[in-house]
Every structure is written in C-alpha cells, then in structure tokens.
Amino acid sequence: MDRAFSGDAWHGPSLMALLDGVSAEDAAKRSISQAHSIWEIVNHVCAWNAIVRQRLGNENVEVTAAMDWPTVPAAGDGAWQSALKSLKHNRTQLRQTVERLTDPQLDEKPSHSRDSRYVLLHGLIQHDLYHAGQIAVLKKVLQ
C-alpha cells in the first residue's frame, strides 16, 4: 500500500512520484479530449482514500457523483498545492486506520459492505495504481 502510493514500487513510479513536479497549469489541462485532467484524478483518488477509510470504520457512505469526482476549483498554484496536501492527508488518515486493524478485522466485512476490509484495501491499491497509470499517460501527452 505504501509503495504504490509513495514508495519504491516494483511496477514503476508511485503515485506521488508521478505527481512530483507537475505544475498547477499542467494538472488542470485536459490534454486528452474526453479524459479527466491530472487534477481531477488527484481529487478522485483523494476522495476514495477518505471513502474507504470511512467504510473500514463501519460508516455507511453513499457515494454521490460530486463525491466521486470532486470539481477542480479555479486553477492556481495554491489550490493545486492544497489538493496535493489533501491527498497526502487523506492517505495518512487511511494509513493510521489500517495500522489499528487486527488480522481478524481484515477478514471481516464492515457494516454496509459486501467485501472484507482486506478486499476493500486491495481494491483501493488497485484503484490508485490504475489512476497512477492514467496520470503517467497524461504527463507524456503534456511533454
């Protein structure tokens, strides 16, 4: 989980490594028609880190379209840095929640979930890596 997000991942650059050096201007660009921008993807990943954390804690989270793909505010360096800070913060909170889980809790299904906590966490890692791949492609288009 940590390697995929910010560590030395065996598959290639981690999500945070891919975001390193991306400017607010580039993050906001819709460089491929009909595709999300890097900034939109960051907000989406951030949201799902929070949603999964809440679900791990037995909260019933009904995901709305606005929660799933939060809007990007007027582009600017301050807002972009804030989005990155929120992503790191939500991941830190998720990580702290995961650290408190016991092995038996990983096999349990949280309230309002069809999957175990273990499956939820693996799904989130897969989700983050899927979107990291999208970011990698978008960065290549920007070059």
Each residue's pLDDT tens digit, 10-58:
888 999 999 999 999 999 999 898 999 999 999 999 999 999 999 999 9
Determine the pLDDT at residue 12: 87
Q: Residues 114-128: what's their mean pLDDT?
A: 96
pTM of the model: 0.94
Q: Residues 88-103: what's their mean pLDDT?
A: 97
Distance CA 38, CA 141 (A): 11
Q: Which tokens in the block code for residue 2?
A: 């940590």
Q: Other C-beta atoms within 10 Å of 131: how many?
A: 20
Q: Please give the single-letter amino acid code of residue 99.
A: E
Q: How many CA atoms lie within 13 A of 101 on its CB side?
A: 23
Question: pLDDT tens-digit profile of 55-79?
Answer: 999 999 999 999 999 999 887 999 9
**Residue 125, Ramachandran bin (φ over 0: left; ψ between -120 and 50: alpha; else beta):** alpha
pLDDT of 137 strictly over 90: yes
CATH code for position 123: 1.20.120.450
Domain coverage including residue 120: 2-142
Write down the H helix ranges in the chain. 2-6, 15-19, 24-28, 38-56, 65-68, 77-100, 103-107, 117-142
The mean predicted confidence, pLDDT, of the chain is 94
For residue 61, how far is the Cα from the chain centroid?
Answer: 16
Determine the pLDDT at residue 96: 97
Q: How many domains does the chain have?
A: 1
pLDDT of 130 strictly over 90: yes
